[in-house]
């Protein structure tokens, strides 16, 4: 799920400029060792070639759900985890050899079914990766590196900046920046304009979002927790002398990455049911729940659908650059013609659907602010959970995810979510079990988002819910308006 952009290892990989799978292999081979190439190819051939379309039974909710198993889902995640450690890595961040291996695997295994028309939509992006270390009076603090920050050492006495009260001169100081009414990138630029040597903000601010800012020069920047920040402010206000040291190492460069788009060859191509999840993680870890649970869940459903037939075409998206602010899905939607947009009946998004301390959340799409038909999708998901005896709850998304570009152009959409860094409430603990005031996923955007960081039961239930809704709309679009007034 998007918080900011993160990537790993300095290199430029242009392998996915070509849409020809065969042409990808030599480029991929330069990034992967020979044994791993054989591993990828062997997995690609596990997909079973099915019979001609006329011999496939029409998809039904019951039949599609029966294809979902925890073992099959987990096997897909084990594959993803192996990609994350290629070349000494530990994540599948956008533009990395690790993400490229994931992309190659997904496309090749879908191509082998013969059921889909697939292509790679490649795009350049401003890659940013780095590390940060921060200490005060010799005590090290937990930090969170920010994308697009410049890298160098900074050391000096603290100078606290209150919003709207930037000192005219801060030469040699390190600024402490709380969240406020202006963007964090503007705060960093203003601190740089005042001569600060470095800046520190609240943990999780994530990104400066661009390489420059007209308000001033960017300076080495990291973030710390709100608890630590408030403690440092209190120490400063009590008159303590604090000397801070900040070290930032960074890479900022242009790289290439790709979305995968796979559309069933059969079914009504003017009424396409679509679903998507991301292939990139943050730099901190392999992203098993965020969002291996979504992408590998959809991959397994795509493979199983190849044994069934559909009335309406189904399209699966495997997005890149979600962690950079859903740039991959935005690029896709923004490059569609109005005619192509009209063919998309609806979009379903799945980002984090196996959180360890899960909740069963359904995207809240009831109200005049959402495209017509989105409420039908929400009720379809809610009805599924009710029918199997599980409580679900609506959740707002605040623009955090690959669904946002579809909302912006009026395409009905919905999705599922099991929770991230937020704490479970007392009421939710009654609904779903677990402890009060404990995060749904304490490993969200951390190195511990690994194979043991998921709840398989929740993952299976959510994947079956997706199967139900996909089967419903692949058969009939009743409840989804098909006349929209999109603009180019």
| Whether the Cβ atoms of residue 95 and residue 17 lie closer than 8 Å to each other | no
Strand bridging mode 344-350 / 268-278: parallel
CB 206 within 8 A of CB 147: yes
**CA 95/CA 98 separation, integer angstroms:** 8
CA gyration radius for the chain?
Answer: 23
Strand, helix or coil at 302? Answer: helix
Q: Which residues pair with 256 in a beta bridge?
A: 124
Task: Please report which residue ranges of 176-225 form alpha helices under DSSP H.
Answer: 184-193
Q: How far apart, in whole angstroms, are the C-alpha atoms of residue 482 and residue 114?
A: 29
Task: Give first-to-last CA distance, the chain, whole Å.
Answer: 28
Question: Which residue of the set 322, 323, 342, 382 is catalytic?
Answer: 322
How far is C-alpha 38 from the geometric centre of its chain's CA atoms?
28
Within 8 A by CB and 6+ apart from 18, the residues are 24, 120
Give the integer Cα–Cα distance in Å for 404 and 428. 26
* Residue 216: both structure tokens together: 């001033």
Tokens of 395: 């959740």
d(CA 331, CA 324): 12
Q: What CA–CA distance (Å, rounded) separates 479 from 311?
A: 16
Q: Are 462 and 353 in contact (CB under 8 A)?
A: yes
- Tell me which H or E stretch contains 63: helix 61-66
Alpha-carbon separation of residue 483 from 188, 235, 329, 339, 372 (angstroms)? 46, 61, 23, 12, 10
Is 322 a residue of the active site? Answer: yes
DSSP element (H, E) containing 112: helix 97-113
Q: How far apart are alpha carbons 479 and 373 in whole angstroms?
A: 6
Query: How would you classify the pairing of strands 174-177 and 153-160?
Result: parallel
Q: 173 preceded by cis ω (within 30°)?
A: no
Nearest to 397 by CA among 406, 387, 409, 385: 406
List residues with catalytic annotation: 322
């Amino acid at each position: 799920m998007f918080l900011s952009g993160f990537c790993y290892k300095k290199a430029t990989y242009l392998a996915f400029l070509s849409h020809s799978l065969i042409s990808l292999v030599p480029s991929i081979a330069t990034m992967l060792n020979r044994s791993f190439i054989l591993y990828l190819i062997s997995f690609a051939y596990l997909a079973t070639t099915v019979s001609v379309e006329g011999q496939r039974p029409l998809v039904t909710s019951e039949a599609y759900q029966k294809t979902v198993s925890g073992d099959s889902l987990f096997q897909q995640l084990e594959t993803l985890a192996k990609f994350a450690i290629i070349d000494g890595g530990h994540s599948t961040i956008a533009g990395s050899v690790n993400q490229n291996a994931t992309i190659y695997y997904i496309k090749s295994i879908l191509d082998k079914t013969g059921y889909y028309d697939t292509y790679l939509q490649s795009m350049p992006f401003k890659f940013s990766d780095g590390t940060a270390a921060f200490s005060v009076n010799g005590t090290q603090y937990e930090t969170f590196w920010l994308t697009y920050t410049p890298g160098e050492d900074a050391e000096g006495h603290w100078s606290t900046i209150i919003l709207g009260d930037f000192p005219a001169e801060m030469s040699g100081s390190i600024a402490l920046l709380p969240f406020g009414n202006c963007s964090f990138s503007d705060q960093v630029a203003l601190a740089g304009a005042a001569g600060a040597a470095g800046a520190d903000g609240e943990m999780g601010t994530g990104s400066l979002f661009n390489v420059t800012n007209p308000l001033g020069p960017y300076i080495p920047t990291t973030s710390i927790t709100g608890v630590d920040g408030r403690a440092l402010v209190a120490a400063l206000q009590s008159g303590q002398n604090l000397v801070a040291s900040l070290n930032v190492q960074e890479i900022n460069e242009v790289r290439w990455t790709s979305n995968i788009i796979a559309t069933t060859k059969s079914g009504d191509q003017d009424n396409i049911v679509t679903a998507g999840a991301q292939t990139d993680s943050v730099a901190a870890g392999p992203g098993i729940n965020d969002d291996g649970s979504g992408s590998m869940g959809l991959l397994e459903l795509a493979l199983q659908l190849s044994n069934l037939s559909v009335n309406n075409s189904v399209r699966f998206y495997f997005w890149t650059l979600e962690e950079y602010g859903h740039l991959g899905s935005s690029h896709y939607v923004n490059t569609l013609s109005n005619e192509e947009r009209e063919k998309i009946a609806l979009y379903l998004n799945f980002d984090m659907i196996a959180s360890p301390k899960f909740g069963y959340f359904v995207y809240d799409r009831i109200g005049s602010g959402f495209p017509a038909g989105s409420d039908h999708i929400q009720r379809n998901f809610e009805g599924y959970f009710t029918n199997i005896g599980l409580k679900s709850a609506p959740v707002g998304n605040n623009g955090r995810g690959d669904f946002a570009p579809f909302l912006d152009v009026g395409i009905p959409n919905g999705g599922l979510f099991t929770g991230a860094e937020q704490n479970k409430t007392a009421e939710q603990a009654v609904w779903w079990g677990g402890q009060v005031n404990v995060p749904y996923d304490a490993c969200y955007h951390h190195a511990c988002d690994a194979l043991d960081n998921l709840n398989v039961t929740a993952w299976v239930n959510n994947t079956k819910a997706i199967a139900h809704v996909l089967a419903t709309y692949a058969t009939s679009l009743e409840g989804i308006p098909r006349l929209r007034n999109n603009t180019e």
